[in-house]
Every structure is written in structure tokens, then in C-alpha cells.
Amino acid sequence: MELLTPSIGLIFWTTVVFAILLFVLAKFAWKPILNAVNERELHIENSLNEAKKAREEMAYLKAENEKILQEAREERDAMLKEARQMREQTINIAKDEAKTEADKIIKSAKESIQLEKAAALTEIKSQVALLSVEVAEKVLGKELNQKEEQKKYVNQLINDINLS
């Protein structure tokens, strides 16, 4: 039973050794340990603050990037719209110029046709006049006594004349 109930001397010396151990630990070990724990706590707190700042900065940079991308998209859309407008304007100008040129060509062709038609009519009139003069000359050049001979002669003259 002695093992279960310690003696007073054992209790005293255990308490003295424990007090000395506490004093030594308090004097030499706890301050460095507490300082290390405090430094570690400050380091962790600083790291958390830096991580929070980094997250905030990343969110800001992400928002800034989105803003820049949106501005780039808007600028691209504006440039595409301007290019489409320029293309449409160029096409319209080309169409107008082509129509004007076609109108000039058509007008010139009509005038040319009218001139050629007038020249052809003049040529036909002069040919008819010459033929008429030739026919009259031949008819008057020959005196015919009978109507039957006169008809025969006119038909012969018509057949002889080349109408080309």
C-alpha cells in the first residue's frame, strides 16, 4: 500500500523539483517559446492580411481586365461598323458612277442611232430620187403610142432596176 500513498518527503521533494523546473522553464524556455508563438501568430496574421490584399488586388485586376476587354470589344464593334458603312458608301458611289456612265453610254448610243437613221433616210431619199429621175428619163426618152406598150415598158424598167 505504500505505493498507493506517497510519503510526505516524496511529496515535498516532488513539489520543490516541480517549482524549480517551473522557474527554469519560465526564466529560459517560456519567453523564447512565447516569443516564437507570438512571432508565428503575427506572421500568420500578416500572411492572411497579405493574402486578403492579394485577393482584393486580383479582383481589382480582374475587373480592370474585364473593363479593358469590354472597351476593346466596343472599339472593335465601332471599327467594324465604320468599315461596313465605308463599304456601303463605296458600293453606293460605285453604283451611282456606273449608272451615270451607263446613262451616258445609252444616250450616246441613242444619238448615234438617230444620226445613223437620219443618214440612212437621207441616203434612201437620194436613192429614190435618183431612181425616180432615171425612170422618168427613160419613160420620157421613149415615146409610146399605145398604152399596152407603155405598161410593158414600165414593168420592164422596174425589173431591170436593181433596188439594192
Burial 5-30 (b: 16+ CB within 10 A, else e): eeeeeeeeeeeeeeeeeeeeeeeeee
Total-model pTM = 0.42
Confidence of residue 42 (pLDDT cuts 50, 70, 90): very high
- By the 8 A CB rule, do 134 and 107 touch? no
Set of cell numbers at residue 131: 431612181
Q: What is the pLDDT of residues 117-134, one digit of tens each?
A: 999 988 888 887 778 777
Within its chain, how far is the Cα of 11 from the centroid?
A: 95
Q: What is the pLDDT of residues 44-83, one digit of tens each?
A: 999 999 999 999 999 999 999 999 999 999 999 999 999 9
Question: What contacts 142, CB < 8 A, 6 or more positions away?
Answer: 153
- By the 8 A CB rule, do 115 and 121 touch? no
Q: What is the pLDDT of residues 11-23, one digit of tens each?
A: 899 999 999 999 9
Q: What is the pLDDT of residues 80-96, one digit of tens each?
A: 999 999 999 999 999 99
Name the more confident of 4 and 78.
Answer: 78
Measured in degrees and rounded to the nearest 5, phi and psi for residue 7 equal -80, 165
Q: What angle do CA 121, 125, 129 make, to 5 degrees?
A: 170
Set of cell numbers at residue 109: 448610243
Confidence of residue 4 (pLDDT cuts 50, 70, 90): confident
